[in-house]
Structure 1
Amino acid sequence: MNESDANYDKEWGFAEFTFNEYQLFGNVSMVDFVARCPVSLGVVRDTGRRGDVQEVEGMGYGSGLDRVVESLRGVRGDWEKLVVRRKGDGLATRVLSPNSAVVMAAQRGERLFQGYYDGYVRDVWEKYQREDLVVDTQNKWGVVRGRVNPGTNLLTFPIPGSSNGGKITFGQPSAADIFSCSTGPFAFPPLPANPTDADFDIQAFRGNVGARLAAAFNRSTLLINPNQPAGEVIGTFYKNNAVTNHYSRVVHENSPRGRGYAFPYDDVSRTEEENVAGTVAAGDPKVFVVAVGGGKVNFAALGTAGVESAVTAAADGAEKRAVTGDESSRTPAGKVVKSERGRVKRIRGLLRRAVGWIRG
């Protein structure tokens, strides 16, 4: 997003992943932009079965981006301004997400998507003054119910297990808040000077509920589905209102099998099996492949001998852990920590580090 950078006109792309004691979790991220040079992801699991692999196929080189550019051309408003073209020959090098485009425009003193979601948000607020918005946290907090308080005009949820009637609240988000999923009502309020585990837990609860709200706003499903995300149907995403995240819509429409991580909470889903976000995840990864240029992953290019030796090592390691009681055996082979659990752990870790920096 820095036009003065020497690399600004170059073609490049990226994926993102987390690799920790619980799992490898990666995705073909398009949260920031769609690249002319895409990537695909693959994982060979540490199970001893040669065919036990995961794959997320990337858009084709050049053609994927060109389809996204063409799909945005007919959408009214600021959507065509997401396209970044090379200064020399006008070639589209990438399409920015609306969040990235808003940030970049602000650097030039411009304001994109100003008021874009306002009417839709007002309709949502009116709806949930009259009825409950039911949110399944898919975590220890269970199912919670929220309503817009007519006195404060805040969408309010009780904190499960709170002994003093604690609650979290959300104000009406702007388009920039919805696209970023992390500003305005989706930002975390400051923690107390000496936060307790309960304070961190409330923040994690807020992040959990906020993720589901942000996802539903981006997909424009809040007016048709009061049960988030349990009642979500992928076929309704982006299609029930002209006001929606059209960037995310065209990313999914032009990605193989409709899979691509197009906004920060695109992995919010009804079940773990509904993988619209284009993720790979394994509690027992052996080989992680990032294939440059998109298309299908060529697992054969890893080399049969290399994969077979990895499988043999996996079997030997599993036997050794069973005999010696290796500490790593506490995580069952193949177990995947649900992405939401991983997100809560990351939120808590970030909050703790932030407090440490402030104290330092």
Structure 2
Amino acid sequence: MTPRHQRNMTRRKMMFALGGAAVGVPALAAIAPYALAGQADGKTAAAAGSLPVTVVNKTGSFDNASAHLYVVGNLDGKQVRLAQDGTLAPIAVSDNGADGFTDYAIPLSGSGDTKLNLPFMSGRIYVSLGQKLKFKAVTDGNGNAALQFPAGWVTSDPNFGILHDCAEFTFNSGGMFCNTTMVDMFSVPMSIRLTGQKDQTTGTLRDGGRAAAFAAVKQVEEFSKLVVDDTRIIAPGHGLDSGIFAKDYFAPYIDEVWSTYTGKDLKITTNAGTFTGRVRGDRFTFDGPAAVSFAKPSTRDVLFCDGNLAAPNDGTTGPVAAVLGAGFNRSTLVSDVAQPATDPAAFYRGDLTNHYAKAIHAATQDGKAYGFAFDDVADFASYIQDTAPTGFTLTLSSF
């Protein structure tokens, strides 16, 4: 199978679309490239048009009546939401109630597991505990109805005080492609299981993992303000935009990388081949299958894998940018002249690293998490896929 970081990467763009009060376009852009690439694996089976979904509440702190489920996303360019009967309904501004917000919550069963059927669509499965989420239907710039998604990293967002989180997916004729995401924040522990040609599970926290992640982030002074009580940990990129994380945090490491590779080569291997790079002038310039180069990134560029580390869908610059982004976040670029680094024991070493990503990876049983946009480089993201799925289970784990 082609390593996912070497395919066209557009997940980063989706994360910006969901940010703040902007009208979001969930996961279609994020995971559709994986769906298309899945057909290259030699599998001819096609996904059925409806996938059985089971929601399991093992929080131990919230009963089913206190848990609220939302399946929102898009199909054929239109925003839709899943109704309890398994049908898709279009987003409509008229769905806003007297309080100005929709009520698209799908109630969990009175007891036991909740069973649903998922039709083809792409989007997010949100879960809130204790209170319902406040999704507002608005009219976008094209005159179409769309949702404003929760932004738990924005203090003025109406959902800021609500305990909530989400998983992402694309389900189409190519299969089911899904992940648990911590790119924006980490709050509700959850795992996903996908059955079909294989039986796969990811996202499961180790015992005490949530509390350990909160404690680990809080004890690092530069990251401590990202912890919001016992509600969530905000990802450092959003913390930077909110003024609670230093804009120059990675500057010393970025300078060290630029200095190191002024005098020697860095090799990055992708599906297109091996790129050999060296800093020439003020740019990190690579030769190989194509000539690509990068200006020195900022801390924000590193955390969002954007700006000077932007990854276009060109098969050359994009994959190299993804590997560089992962190397900066994992702090492996200086220590390993052959990238991508693949030994997790070498990730997040030293004081200057992405301690948020480090903490949530340490909290999971399989060591996989989506702590930044290109955490799937070398397959360290909490992502699974199946081209002939037969069932999907979302488990809300113990706190």
TM-score above 0.5, yes or no: yes
Which residue does 2:199 correspond to in 1?
53
User: In the alignment, which of 135, 141, 149 is matched to residue 268 of structure 2?
Assistant: 135
- How far apart are 1:15 and its partner, in Å? 0.9
Which residue does 1:247 correspond to in 2?
356
Instruction: Report 1 or 2 for greater relative contact order, CA contacts < 8 Å, sequence distance ≥ 6.
Output: 1
- How far apart are 1:75 and its partner, in Å? 1.4
Aligned to 2:166, the other structure's residue is in SS state: coil
How far apart in 2 are the matches of 1:188 and 1:67? 33
Which segments of 5 or more consecutive residues in structure 1 lack a partner in the other structure? Answer: 86-91, 190-199, 270-274, 296-360
Aligned to 2:165, the other structure's residue is in SS state: coil
Aligned to 1:257, the other structure's residue is in SS state: coil
Q: Report if aligned partners of 1:124, 1:222 keep a CA contact under 8 Å in 2.
A: yes
Amino acid across the alignment from 2:236? P
1:145 maps to 2:276:
yes
How far apart in 2 are the matches of 1:18 and 1:181? 22
Q: Report if aligned partners of 1:14, 1:38 keep a CA contact under 8 Å in 2.
A: no
1:155 maps to 2:284:
yes
Please give the residue correspondences for 1:17-36 in structure 2 after superposition, counting only pairs within 5 Å.
Answer: 17-35=169-187
How far apart in 1 are the matches of 2:231 and 2:172? 33
Which residue does 1:265 correspond to in 2?
374
How far apart in 2 are the matches of 1:73 and 1:188? 31
- How far apart are 1:188 and its partner, in Å? 5.7
1:187 maps to 2:336:
no
- How far apart are 1:57 and its partner, in Å? 4.2
Please give the residue correspondences for 1:222-241 in structure 2 after superposition, counting only pairs within 5 Å.
Answer: 222-229=333-340, 231-239=341-349, 241=350
Which residue does 1:175 correspond to in 2?
299
Amino acid across the alignment from 2:273? G
Q: Report if aligned partners of 1:225, 1:232 keep a CA contact under 8 Å in 2.
A: no
Which residue does 2:220 correspond to in 1?
75
Q: Deviations over 1:228-259 (max 9, x none)?
A: 11x531111001x3210000111111122322
Amino acid across the alignment from 2:186? V
Q: Report if aligned partners of 2:311, 2:319 keep a CA contact under 8 Å in 1.
A: no
Q: Report if aligned partners of 2:206, 2:363 keep a CA contact under 8 Å in 1.
A: no
Please give the residue correspondences for 1:345-356 in structure 2 after superposition, counting only pairs within 5 Å.
Answer: none
Which residue does 1:348 correspond to in 2?
none
How far apart in 2 are the matches of 1:232 and 1:125? 22
Q: Report if aligned partners of 2:311, 2:322 keep a CA contact under 8 Å in 1.
A: no
Q: Report if aligned partners of 1:65, 1:95 keep a CA contact under 8 Å in 2.
A: no
Larger Rg: 1
- How far apart are 1:65 and its partner, in Å? 3.2
Aligned to 2:254, the other structure's residue is in SS state: helix
Amino acid across the alignment from 1:55? T
How far apart in 1 are the matches of 2:327 and 2:334? 9
Over 3 Å counting, the alpha-carbon distance change for 1:93 and 1:111 in structure 2 is: closer
How far apart in 2 are the matches of 1:76 and 1:4? 24
- How far apart are 1:111 and its partner, in Å? 6.1
Q: How many residues align?
A: 247
Aligned to 1:134, the other structure's residue is in SS state: strand
1:276 maps to 2:276:
no
Amino acid across the alignment from 1:143? T
1:13 maps to 2:165:
yes
Structure number having the greater strand percentage: 2
- How far apart are 1:7 and its partner, in Å? 2.1
Q: Report if aligned partners of 2:240, 2:247 keep a CA contact under 8 Å in 1.
A: no
Amino acid across the alignment from 1:96? I
Which residue does 1:340 correspond to in 2?
none
Structural RMSD (CA) = 2.2
How far apart in 1 are the matches of 2:227 and 2:253? 25
Over 3 Å counting, the alpha-carbon distance change for 1:29 and 1:100 in structure 2 is: same
Amino acid across the alignment from 1:225? D
- How far apart are 1:144 and its partner, in Å? 1.1
**Percent identity for Structure 1 against Structure 2:** 32
1:4 maps to 2:169:
no
